[in-house]
Structure 1
Amino acid sequence: MSDVRVLVVDDDFMVARLHAELVGSLAGFVVAGVAQTGRDALDAASRLHPDIVLLDVYLPDLSGVQVLEELRAGGAPQADVVMITAARDTETVSRALRLGAVHYLVKPFALADLSDRLRQVAAARQQLASDATLAQAEIDRVFGAVRTPTPLRGLPKGLSEPTMRLVVATLRSQDAAESATELADRAGLSRVSARRYLEHLVGMGWVEVTLKYGAAGRPERLYAWVRD
């Protein structure tokens, strides 16, 4: 498939540049354009035909929700919209949801969260690029690709977000499956702590476990990142 084209919309020049740099760093993604006002965003969307729009709510002329409404009305009906904003009031969130935003990221957020959202949307678009009839399981995967939360959301008691970020980044940097002990050594964590985080990721479906059998004793559990 061709690269996923992303339009970045944010009134803060530095934030827009940061998000554009992130998009440009991801394999399979390109920056289609950058806009800092609602009107510019609508004009860019109609000219550039982006696949994804990263859309702020607080813009100097139109609100991001108004922009989303006009995009859905014909400005770029095929573009998937990811809201990126400090707005967290229920009216804004509910309107964005009803108008078809596929994700809603509240600022400030980690760039890893944005990367995950972009990959999820791209995975869903790829699945839908085929003309084939989809089975229920495939439809479930498509909806899951844009609705599944990141592994940083809803952590159980005793697991912290900074440590989870460290575990995820460490595991994703390794091509081959590795044990909790190996990951713990690379991340500077205890083996027990590393295994707790890894097992939580396994339960969420972000990490896959394989068993390595030795000459005697229990098989060793090896972990590999599979969500991307």
Structure 2
Amino acid sequence: MITVLVVDDDVRVARNHHDLVQSLPGFTAIGVAHTAADALTEIERLRPDLVLLDLYLPDGTGTSVLRTVRAPEGGIHPVDFLVITAVRDIEHVRAALHGGAVHYLLKPFPLTALRDQLERYAVARRSMVDAGPATTQHDVDRLFGLLRPAAAGRSLPKGLTTATNELIAGTLREAEGDLSAVDVSERTGVSRVTARRYLEHLCADGRAELRMRYGTAGRPEHRYRWAGSGPGSGSGPAEGGAAG
């Protein structure tokens, strides 16, 4: 479970972000702070994994919070920051990057943008755990790619998110053989229906193949296997149509 502290001087915005975090599987909002001083206190007391950090705070700036936490002599629990702000000054963006923020969301934005970024962060954290102490360039490229929006022209159907799509794709890619939607659901933690939707999309995108396994009775089982990186990869088209 990823623990999240929400820091925003606007009570209404903070509540909206808190409620969104609570609605996402695998996340829990453990606190809310409205000032820089309270943010530092709560980070040390609650020891969250991630802080949603506004830069406009009544007694300081979010950047000052970032610098205090990151300072070698600070002694505060290490934490990741997702900056959420209306500040568009490039110096603040640079300061956030230097402070190690995983991303910088500019207000106003739809809550779906925050949800997508949180899901991407969750997948990245899981990838770091799965990678173990040693890593390859492929692991590094995939990790950094997970924390960034999808490339233009690689849009997903409505209702699907980049982070979950990458999670399903990675699970299929690393499997030894084919998997059913139930298998993918158990390995990723998403529901079977959600897994099936993403598997169907990967098949339509040419990155996965659908194979039918016929048993002695009942409907044939739909099995999926990794096919490649997309159209033109040299893999054959998916067999059949929509999955069951």
TM-score, length-normalised on structure 2? 0.64
> Could you tell me how far 1:26 is from its partner in structure 2?
0.2
CA distance in structure 2 between the aligned counterparts of 1:89 and 1:4, rounded to whole angstroms: 30
Task: Name the residue aligned to 1:110.
Answer: 110
Deviation digits for residues 164-184 of structure 1 (CA, Å, limit 9, x no counterpart): 79x42279986332698xxxx
Task: Name the residue aligned to 1:100.
Answer: 100
> Could you tell me how far 1:121 is from its partner in structure 2?
1.6
Which secondary structure state, in structure 2, belongs to the residue aligned with residue 211 of structure 1? coil
Unpaired stretches in structure 1, ≥5 consecutive residues: 157-163, 181-201, 204-208, 214-219, 224-228
CA distance in structure 2 between the aligned counterparts of 1:77 and 1:144, rounded to whole angstroms: 26
> Could you tell me how far 1:81 is from its partner in structure 2?
0.4
Which secondary structure state, in structure 2, belongs to the residue aligned with residue 129 of structure 1? helix
Paired letter, 2:42 = A
Q: Could you tell me whether the CA contact under 8 Å between 1:57 and 1:85 is conserved in 2?
A: yes
Task: Name the residue aligned to 1:33.
Answer: 31
CA distance in structure 1 between the aligned counterparts of 2:9 and 2:153, rounded to whole angstroms: 32
Number of aligned residues: 177
Q: Runs (4+) of structure 1 moved beyond 6 Å?
A: 170-173
Structure 1 residues 24 and 210 mapped into 2: Cα distance closer, same or farther (>3 Å)? farther
Task: Name the residue aligned to 1:145.
Answer: 146
CA distance in structure 2 between the aligned counterparts of 1:101 and 1:169, rounded to whole angstroms: 27
CA distance in structure 1 between the aligned counterparts of 2:117 and 2:160, rounded to whole angstroms: 19
Paired letter, 1:123 = V
Once the two structures are aligned, what percentage of the paired residues are identical? 43
CA distance in structure 2 between the aligned counterparts of 1:150 and 1:56, rounded to whole angstroms: 24
After TM superposition, the structure 1 = structure 2 runs for residues 6-155 of structure 1, keeping only pairs within 5 Å, are 6-73=4-71, 74=74, 76=76, 78-129=78-129, 131-146=132-147, 148-150=148-150
> Could you tell me how far 1:24 is from its partner in structure 2?
0.2
TM-score, length-normalised on structure 1? 0.68
CA distance in structure 1 between the aligned counterparts of 2:98 and 2:139, rounded to whole angstroms: 24
Unpaired stretches in structure 2, ≥5 consecutive residues: 165-192, 205-229
